[in-house]
Amino acid sequence: MNKALQEASIRDIILFNPMDKVSPVKKDEFIPEFYTDDELLDFIEVAKKSKLELPLVIAAVYGLRREEVLGITWNAIDFKHKAIVISKTVGRGKYLGVTQFLFKDIPKNKSSYRTLPLFDFIADLLFKYKEQYKANKKLFGNTYCNEYQDYICLMENGELMKPDYIDRNFSKIITNNNFKKIRLHDLRHSCATLLLRNGVPMEEIQKWLGHSSIRTTERYAHLNQNDKEIPAQM
Cα separation, 190 vs 192, in Å, equals: 5
pLDDT tens profile 82-141: 999 999 999 999 888 888 999 999 999 999 999 999 999 999 999 999 999 999 999 999
Which CATH code of 1.10.1740.110, 1.10.443.10, 2.60.120.20, 1.10.10.10 fits the domain covering 37-182? 1.10.443.10
Query: How much is the pLDDT for 26?
Result: 63
| Residue 234's pLDDT band (cuts 50, 70, 90) | very low
Strand 83-86 to 88-95 pairing: unpaired
SS3 string, the chain, reads: CHHHHHHHHHCCCCCCCHHHHCCCCCCCCCCCCCCCHHHHHHHHHHHCCCCCHHHHHHHHHHCCCHHHHHCCEHHHEECCCCEEEECEEEEEEEECCEEEEEEEECCCCCCCCEEEECCHHHHHHHHHHHHHHHHHHHHHHHHCCCCCCCECCECCCCCECCHHHHHHHHHHHHHHCCCCCCCCCHHHHHHHHHHHHCCCCHHHHHHHHCCCCHHHHHHHCCCCHHHCCCHHHC
Longest dimension (CA), the chain: 76
What's the pTM? Answer: 0.81
The answer to whether the CB of 72 falls within 8 A of the CB of 152 is yes
Domain boundaries, the chain: 37-182
Return the CA Rg of the chain: 22
Query: How much is the pLDDT for 221?
Result: 82
Cα separation, 34 vs 16, in Å, equals: 48
pLDDT tens profile 15-45: 777 777 777 666 656 567 899 989 999 999 9
